[in-house]
Amino acid sequence: MLSDTPLVTLAPIPSDATPPSDTLHIRFSPPPAELAAIDDGSWQLVVPSAPPPNDETPVVRLWRHRTAGHYRYLYRDGAAFTIDATGLRIFAQHPDDMSNEDVCSYLLGPVFALVLRLRGIVCLHASAASVGDVAVAFLGSAHAGKSTLAAAFSLAGYPALSDDTATLIPRDDHFWVAADSPRLNLWPRSAELLFGDAAALPRLSDTWDKRFLDLRTREGAPSTPGARQDGQRLGVLYELAVAESAQSVTHIVGLGGHQALVVLTQHARASALLDPAHRPRELDVLADVMASVMVRRVERAIHAKPQDVRNAILEDLRGLGLAPRATAPCAPEPPPAADR
């Protein structure tokens, strides 16, 4: 990846070698003319698919070129990203007063997910951690607790691999989760549950109260192990669900066949944004994923603590023979947070 502007969450890698032909180029500049205009009738609005209520401006709009297949994101705060159909070029634009941190929150999340899909790489709406010899991924919709659970695993000595997007790389008849997240982004309530006080972690930016756990410098959590650098073979996918009627803190069940495939399809990132021609390939890949890993559902009580959910998953993994009985020492649990 080559960028003409530093990306705050990624460390530059010095290299004198000629970049390969499939290198992603990021330019913080307006796109060329053939990618710029979106009001000439050649672009189709795909997100949102219906007008928002009360004629409010949507948080994000996404257009797709009807014939060429290019994409253009436009956020309500003025950030814009144009992606060519090959997934080789991104043109980023933003207001002068927008921080690099805010721009990267879009760029390294939904924009990169779409780029991966354009390149034929399937990624899931999931965070992941390394447990023993396998990667364990946590699937879920927004606010399901994916990043929170990855942080809870990290605090217990199991390195985080990815945050919010798990990139699946086919290798040797298995799928590997790429280690591509130098930090975990956490809502203040999640930081409070894990560390006793949201202020224990730095803010993502001056304009956003979301916090982050830096897996490289361990800022805000000195005892937190860093992320693995090489990725790991995917062993189990856990779908996170809240069951208000749950009798225990956490109940875990196995999924198979059609049910497992539906779960994977629901949590494949950027699926609804792709041209329909890409869908058969996606379903083939997801069927291969289902055949090579276990898919399970975590039904947790609505007030379950992330540490308790983590421990239930670890016990489930031990029952599957995928986690050692002698686990790494857990970090001390934080004291209960005071009511605010």
User: Domain of 240: which CATH number?
Assistant: 3.40.50.300
113 lies in the same domain as 136: no
Confidence of residue 40 (pLDDT cuts 50, 70, 90): low
Q: Cα separation of 153 and 162, whole Å?
A: 12
Check pLDDT > 50 for residue 339: no
> For residue 332, what pLDDT is reported?
44
pLDDT score recorded for residue 196: 92
Indicate whether 163 pLDDT > 70.
yes
pLDDT exceeds cutoff 70 at 282: yes
Asked, for residue 199, whether it belongs to a domain, the answer is yes
Cβ-based neighbours of 314, under 8 Å, separated by 6 or more:
131, 156, 323, 327
Task: Give the mean pLDDT of the chain.
Answer: 83
Inside any domain, residue 334:
no
- pLDDT tens track for 41-53: 788 888 875 556 6
Q: Are residue 113 and residue 129 in the same domain, yes or no? A: no
One domain for residues 195 and 82: no
The pLDDT tens digits of the residues spanning 215-241 come to 876 544 444 454 556 789 999 999 999
| Distance spanning both ends of the chain, measured CA to CA | 44
Percent of the chain residues past pLDDT 90, beyond the cut: 40
Q: Residue 196 sits in which domain range? A: 123-319
Query: Looking at per-residue confidence, does 337 or 144 come out higher?
Result: 144
Q: Domain check: are 55 and 173 in the same one?
A: no
| In a shared domain, residues 109 and 168 | no
Total domains in the chain come to 2
Question: Per the domain annotation, does 274 fall within a domain?
Answer: yes
Structure confidence at residue 14 as a pLDDT band (50, 70, 90): confident
Better-scored residue on pLDDT, 15 or 46: 46
Tell me the pLDDT band of 256, cut-offs 50, 70 and 90.
Answer: confident
Confidence of residue 172 (pLDDT cuts 50, 70, 90): confident
- For residues 300 and 139, is the Cβ–Cβ distance under 8 A? no
Together in a domain, 10 and 148: no
